Amino acid sequence: MPPRSVRPAPGSADGCTLGVDIGGTFTDFVLLEQATGRVITGKVLTRTDDLAAGVLHGVHELLARHGVPGAAVRKVVHGTTLATNALIERRGARTALIVTRGFRDILELARQSRYDIFDIDLQVPKPLVPRRLVFEVTERVAADGAIVQPLAIDEVGAIVRALKAENVQAVAVCLLHSFRNPDHERQLAAALHALGPELAVSLSSDVMPDLREYERASTAVANAYLQPVVRSYLDRLADGLRAAGIAAELMLIGSDAGTIGRTAALRYPVRLVESGPAGGALAASFLGRRAGEPDVIAFDVGGTTAKVCVIDGGEPERADQFEVARVHRFAKGSGLPLKVPVIEMIEIGAGGGSIARVDELGLLRVGPESAAANPGPACYGLGGDLPTVTDADLILGYLDADFFLGGAMRLDRARAAAAIQRYVAEPLRLSPTRAAWGIHAVVNDNMARAAKVHCLERGKDARDYVLLAYGGAGPVHAAQVAAALGIRRVMYPLRAGVMSALGFLAAPVAFERLRADVSPLDAVDLTRANAVLAELTADARELVRAAGVPAADCVVKREAALRFAGQSYALPVPLPTGRLSRAHLQQLRADFVAIYRKRYYRLNPDVPVELVHWRVSVAGPKPELNIAPIESGIRSARKGTRPVYFSEAGRYVDCAVYDRFALGAGKRLRGPAVIEEPESTVVIGPGSSSIIDRDGNLMATLASARRGEREAA
């Protein structure tokens, strides 16, 4: 499928920025000309067998179709599923692990926690390194960093010979308490490089020098596992871009929504995991700020999953750990933990491809199983025969069978109706319409409940936010989800189907470093603390400088992770600039208590406070995206009418259908209405009102939040 334009405004092609996002089904492209604000978008099918070839094909098609020379592209920002897929599909390098003697089974033992306490046949994630490739070395470092037993460096020779015999390509090193004293790990790395220079080596004290040995080992192993794969991919991609005349340096989007250069990506490829969703959250924060709505709930619904991210003051919430390669995709605790900075979001199995079924109790269930892209929903006509959310949306009139993907793919309404009739309507003795509405309502409820829990866990009230909907299916379901959450206003951005790729263009060059330093807060060694903060700052600055950002343009943010004594997890608290003093520590405690009270409400102020780790983030300037405002009135936007089902009316309504790209700034619409663009469709219910802003965002005010629903006919 060739890339498609979204009616770019005329203008020169000089000084373009290209965003590329590889998804599970499609690879998205956004080309922005900074001088004029011209925006071009494209989609090609993802080449799962050769991701680099798919990207290069799409770039060639995009540039050729719109007459843009490769030399005009000054910056390329890329998010890829390569790292995630390699971990899920186990297609990384052959990797070994070196640990302190006596700790060989760290990966096998894991946390010994059960994500389902009632399943006697519980599956757990298989380690990336088999036990036979875990090697022990004699050494011991105490919790305070003191060397209890020196490293037996003479043991490394036998280990390297065993590695070569097993054709190992990468080695992770995770020694006990190395986050406090990394000397032994560094000595091991030097010996490994000397005896096996072809080996890729990852040290846990470098990749993630934080508490919790299992999580540190898991992260170091994943980093080593990905290094050879990512190096090969980036080499091929860079060569292909140069062949296309693009001399710009390739930048990668990280899991924390910051961009990193080649140097950082090769050193820390584990930071590339989950880069696509991070880009979507960044785009939501950028567009929200630009529209004067800094507090939004980003609501991203694709073919398989729905993701929700809370954005306060124009900044998405962040976390320092997540799971990948889950045995049960949406069961927390069933995957491999990675301690890397990420955008905080919740993901559930609810999307266009989510399969509807009637369970053994006669209840309608939707997801988390998905029909994916192949065989896909029944209406795709690619072999799938199970009813999905997309099938239900088609039957309800929300989707146009002849305009799916802008007409590039025709949907089969008869197949959708047959699947719903067989698997849902007949078992429940419902009409096809009631069955389709049931599927739509259940998946909406699933998404709304997940979003509500996500907000409440963070002390947030969803009613205080604007819901910002994107992804292929997000705008179809957003109004119903918003009503269930008590949200009155919904923002539907233009080009919602390529939001992640657009978000990449708004990402600053950034890198984050941390180091564990557990201590009672009132007993912190200030000399050590200031030295650690200075070292972390220098390291992060160097990685940002290597990506082309001058030191004078860098912004440094520092924070401490604090907890009450006896707790397992900590909360981040901002640090002031300059050297820390005792007075700063007193203020730090007061700030922590305030943050803790806001999050959890209750606290015991007499409990001592502990420091867990220091964290430093260094970032370059945020890119200024000059997106051209849309015109006040382009032409008639009304495409016609079609029957669309609305629960508010309890029946199908003859509904106006509009062309999204013909709606000029200031245009007002009153629901019911359907607004179509190639990658997504907006559904506005009866009584709701909306207006198009200067950037083409459709700002909707719902008729009510949570109105009673009448039964479908």
The helix/strand count (H/E) of the chain reads as: 17, 35
How confident is the model at residue 158, as a pLDDT? 97
Helices (H), 129-210: 156-165, 183-195, 204-207
Measure Cα distances from 400 to 191, 393, 604, 674 in Å: 63, 9, 58, 10
Domain membership of residue 116 (yes or no) is: yes
Q: Please give the Cα distance from 137 to 163 (Å, whole number).
A: 14
How confident is the model at residue 422, as a pLDDT? 97
Looking at residue 509, the DSSP 8-state letter turns out to be B
- C-beta of residue 366 within 8 angstroms of C-beta of residue 304: no
Measure Cα distances from 430 to 355, 434, 438, 449 in Å: 18, 6, 10, 25
Q: How many residues does the chain have?
A: 713
Shared domain for 145 and 242, answered yes or no, is: no
pLDDT in tens, 50-109: 899 999 999 999 999 899 999 999 999 999 888 988 898 899 999 999 999 999 999 999
Q: What is the pTM of this model?
A: 0.84
Residue 429: both structure tokens together: 């003795």
Shared domain for 179 and 246, answered yes or no, is: no
Residue 455: both structure tokens together: 């907000």
In 3D space, the residue among 545, 559, 541, 549 whose CA is nearest the CA of residue 618 turns out to be 541
Residue 464: count other Cβ atoms within 10 Å of its Cβ: 12
For residue 168, the domain's CATH number is 3.40.1360
In 3D space, the residue among 622, 566, 570, 562 whose CA is nearest the CA of residue 587 turns out to be 562
Shared domain for 200 and 218, answered yes or no, is: yes
Average pLDDT, the chain: 90
> CB under 8 Å to 527, separation ≥6 — which residues?
none
Chain Cα centroid distance, residue 435: 33
- C-beta of residue 38 within 8 angstroms of C-beta of residue 628: yes
* Domain that includes residue 518, residue range: 510-619
Q: Is 383 exposed, middle or buried (0-12, 13-18, 19+ CB in 10 A)?
A: exposed
Q: Please give the Cα distance from 619 to 512 (Å, whole number).
A: 9
> CB under 8 Å to 330, separation ≥6 — which residues?
347, 348, 349, 368
Shared domain for 65 and 114, answered yes or no, is: no
How confident is the model at residue 451, as a pLDDT? 93
Residue 122: both structure tokens together: 């519980």
For residue 48, the domain's CATH number is 3.30.420.40
Residue 98: both structure tokens together: 């070196």
Q: Please give the Cα distance from 272 to 149 (Å, whole number).
A: 36
Residue type present at position 298: A
Shared domain for 246 and 192, answered yes or no, is: no
Q: What SS3 class is residue 447?
A: helix
Shared domain for 112 and 209, answered yes or no, is: yes
Residue type present at position 235: D
- C-beta of residue 697 within 8 angstroms of C-beta of residue 287: yes
In 3D space, the residue among 326, 412, 303, 376 whose CA is nearest the CA of residue 87 turns out to be 326
Residue 346: both structure tokens together: 């919740």
Residue 672 backbone dihedrals phi, psi, to 5 degrees? -80, 145
Of 573, 603, 619, the residue at which a domain comes to its end is 619
Shared domain for 160 and 108, answered yes or no, is: yes
Which of 358-379 are b and which e, b meaning 16 or more Cβ less than 10 Å from the residue's Cβ?
beeeeebbbbbbbbbbeebbbb
Adjacent-strand bridge partners of 31:
18, 40
Adjacent-strand bridge partners of 251:
77
Question: Is there a cis peptide before residue 150, judged by omega within 30 degrees of 0?
Answer: no
Of 156, 190, 222, the residue at which a domain comes to its end is 222
Domain membership of residue 635 (yes or no) is: no
Shared domain for 123 and 214, answered yes or no, is: yes
Bridging pattern class, strands 680-684 and 673-677: antiparallel
How confident is the model at residue 635, as a pLDDT? 61
Chain Cα centroid distance, residue 645: 33
How confident is the model at residue 604, as a pLDDT? 77
Measure Cα distances from 260 to 78, 233, 271 in Å: 10, 16, 9
Of 619, 646, 662, the residue at which a domain comes to its end is 619
Residue 556: both structure tokens together: 């440094």
Residue 154 backbone dihedrals phi, psi, to 5 degrees? -70, -15
Residue 472: count other Cβ atoms within 10 Å of its Cβ: 24
Count: domains in the chain: 3
Measure Cα distances from 315 to 26, 339, 469, 493, 533 in Å: 27, 21, 17, 18, 24
Shared domain for 548 and 516, answered yes or no, is: yes
Which of 12-34 are b and which e, b meaning 16 or more Cβ less than 10 Å from the residue's Cβ?
ebeebbbbbbbbbbbbbbbbbbb
Domain membership of residue 167 (yes or no) is: yes
Domain membership of residue 384 (yes or no) is: no
Shared domain for 253 and 176, answered yes or no, is: no
Domain membership of residue 80 (yes or no) is: yes
Residue type present at position 597: R
Domain membership of residue 664 (yes or no) is: no
Say which residue the tokens 């997000």 belong to.
Answer: 474
Domain membership of residue 488 (yes or no) is: no
Shared domain for 68 and 108, answered yes or no, is: no
Residue numbers of the chain with a pLDDT score lower than 70: 1-14, 24-25, 329-330, 632-635, 704-713
Which of 102-120 are b and which e, b meaning 16 or more Cβ less than 10 Å from the residue's Cβ?
ebbebbeebeeeebeeeee
Shared domain for 77 and 97, answered yes or no, is: no
Domain membership of residue 238 (yes or no) is: yes
Sign of the torsion formed by the C-alpha atoms of 83, 88, 91 and 92? positive
